[in-house]
Amino acid sequence: MTTDHQDTDTTILDTDVLVVGAGPAGLMLATELRLGGAEVVVVDQRPGPTTESRASTLHARTMEILDSRGLLDELGTPPCEPRGHFGGVPLDLTLPSPHPGQWKVAQTRTEELLQRRAAVLGADLRRRHQLLSLTAEDGVEAEAIGPYGPVRIRARYLVGCDGEDSTVRRLVRAPFPGKDAARELLRADVSGVEVADRRFQRLEHGLAIAATREGVTRVMVHEFGRPAAERGGAEPDFAEVTDVWKRVTGEDISQGTPLWVNAFGDANRQLAHYRHGRVLFAGDAAHRQMPSGGQALNLGVQDAFNLGWKLAAVVRGSAGEDLLDSYHSERHTVGRQVLANIRAQVELLLGGPEVEPARALLTELVALDGVRQHLAGMISGLGIRYDVEGPEIDSGAHPLLGRRLPDAWLEPAERGARRRTTELLRTGRGLLLSLDGDGAPALRATAAPWSDRVAFVADRPAAGGPLPTGQALLVRPDGYVAWAGSGPAGLARALTRWFGTLAADD
Ligand SMILES: Cc1cc2nc3c(=O)[nH]c(=O)nc-3n(C[C@H](O)[C@H](O)[C@H](O)COP(=O)(O)OP(=O)(O)OC[C@H]3O[C@@H](n4cnc5c(N)ncnc54)[C@H](O)[C@@H]3O)c2cc1C
């Protein structure tokens, strides 16, 4: 349990997990840790959710995740756009999901939502607290400076969710290979201008994008061959954006009022290891990328969703530390794939006339539904398949193994109302879902010793849905299928792997 006391002028906190950074990744992690029963302190140097104009897209898998925790009602019905792009080539993102497409939600709203949820679940969020130093051996000891003076936090684990310029990464000297920015996109949110909407318009001298919503026009521009500027962390001037816009489009937008100006470089780096003993990383602290296709925030939120239940199980003592290694192997693999697709997109987007043949070929390829589905699966996060049986899932394995549990209606086997599979994930526990097979009693008996961690549900899948009748699925708290079968063979091994060994008195 988090405790708090004063030692001379230093506040001392003891907790299970210290999360550094209350951006989308840190806040999602805090909610999942609390749901899993871990005590958590979150420190962030900012006074509140971001006020910057940042990410504005929630992809289908992130929406499913929010849905699985009952968080969608609070978002209302945000605008949804089925069409996305790959390097500026139009790409229909629609795949089977209750939430296909890109949902337009400002990052501020996402952070507010997750912050409220973290508070309701009892996370101890300390704003205006800046992490200064840390040591990690058997546990972690961190020093922060808060509004009332120094704070020392002792925790069993620390997770750096402190963004692309991560202090935690620097303090633990974590290798962060990759490349620095060579090119950039300039961006400004501007009022008082009239600019036609442009989706990735490639002109003779550069790329121009413009979209107007509620009286504010967001322009993005890159001039072919222009290198990324060295700005020392500062944002570009509006005049720089208007000059480049003029050279690329011939239009003068300098009379507009800039509400927000920034530049995105094409730096592309990923931590070699997401886990350094008792220090772990999630979100932009673990990977730096151009936010092409709106993937950056979604990638970080999904890192946190993968880590939260695992770390909670480890601090509760119900799982061994090897569960944390699966966090690295699963999310590093996904991150590597996303960073690679972003590098490819950057070439297609920011390259000059020399990339036109590759763009033309890609345009032909995305007309093939298999190609479209592959790219849409990667960008939306719906295509993820974890190697839950490691090291590689057998090609003859059950098609749902390692994939997310599809959202589907279930008819009660005995009494009760119809319900959706997604609703069964609300508690954050694992799930053994027996789908109208005759092996239910044997499955229930096998899973009984884990009943504090894994709920047993025996229902019938609604006709015509994506779930197989007569089979059973073991589903992790993050919604991924860890075992599938029609009898109990292999179930105890999968339960042990993902939900821990049993204590002597279990
Ligand atoms: C200007 C800008 C525009 C962007 N636009 C887009 C976009 O259009 N589309 C898109 O998909 N993505 C965009 N992104 C990327 C997206 O915002 C990030 O991917 C996302 O915020 C990452 O979430 P995170 O939780 O990992 O890190 P962050 O959101 O960066 O959160 C990190 C948190 O850590 C805190 N912190 C840092 N150091 C310390 C410390 N020493 N002590 C305490 N707290 C600390 C920070 O205050 C911050 O709150 C943009 C990013 C920026 C910077």
Give the atom of ligand 1 at the shortest distance from the alpha carbon of 130.
42
Domain assignment present for residue 506? The answer is no
Q: Is the CB of 300 under 6 A from ligand 1?
A: yes
Domain assignment present for residue 211? The answer is yes
Domain assignment present for residue 403? The answer is no
pLDDT for the residue numbered 3: 67
Same domain, 261 and 273: no
Using a 10 angstrom Cβ sphere, with 0-12 exposed, 13-18 middle and 19 or more buried, the burial of residue 41 is buried
pLDDT for the residue numbered 98: 96
Q: Which long-range contacts (CB under 8 A, 24 or more apart) does 453-456 make?
A: 453/313, 453/318, 453/429, 453/499, 453/500, 454/429, 454/430, 454/495, 454/499, 455/424, 455/427, 455/429, 455/430, 455/431, 456/432
Q: What is the CATH number of the domain that holds 421?
A: 3.40.30.120
Q: What is the CATH number of the domain that holds 220?
A: 3.30.70.2450
Query: DSSP code of 365?
Result: H
Q: What is the CATH number of the domain that holds 280?
A: 3.50.50.60
pLDDT for the residue numbered 392: 56
HSE toward the beta carbon, residue 464, CA cutoff 13 A: 0
Sequence-ordered list of residues with C-beta below 8 angstroms from that of 415, at least 6 positions apart, any chain: none
Same domain, 214 and 260: yes
Same domain, 413 and 494: yes
Enclosing H/E stretch for 413: none
Last residue of a domain, one of 230, 265, 300: 265
Do 422 and 448 form a contact (C-beta atoms < 8 A)?
no
Q: Is the CB of 303 under 6 A from ligand 1?
A: no
Give CA–CA dist 349/201, Å, rounded: 10
How confident is the chain (506 residues) per 10-residue block, as mean pLDDT?
Answer: 70 96 98 98 94 87 98 93 94 96 95 98 98 96 96 98 97 97 96 93 96 92 95 91 97 95 95 98 97 93 98 95 96 98 96 96 98 97 91 72 96 83 96 87 95 94 88 97 92 95 58
Q: Which long-range contacts (CB under 8 A, 24 or more apart) does 244-247 make?
A: 244/186, 244/206, 245/208, 245/219, 245/221, 247/205, 247/206, 247/223
Do 185 and 263 form a contact (C-beta atoms < 8 A)?
yes
In which domain, by residue range, is 320 found?
3-47+109-179+269-344
294 C-alpha vs ligand 1 centroid, how far in Å? 13
pLDDT for the residue numbered 9: 84
pLDDT for the residue numbered 505: 46
Same domain, 41 and 135: yes
Same domain, 84 and 124: no
167 C-alpha vs ligand 1 centroid, how far in Å? 13
pLDDT for the residue numbered 5: 67
Which of 111, 151, 284, 345 should be mutated for ligand 1, with most atoms under 8 A from CB?
Answer: 284
Same domain, 494 and 481: yes
Retrieve residue 199's tokens: 């989706």
283 C-alpha vs ligand 1 centroid, how far in Å? 8
Domain assignment present for residue 396? The answer is no
285 C-alpha vs ligand 1 centroid, how far in Å? 9
The total number of structural domains that make up the chain:
4
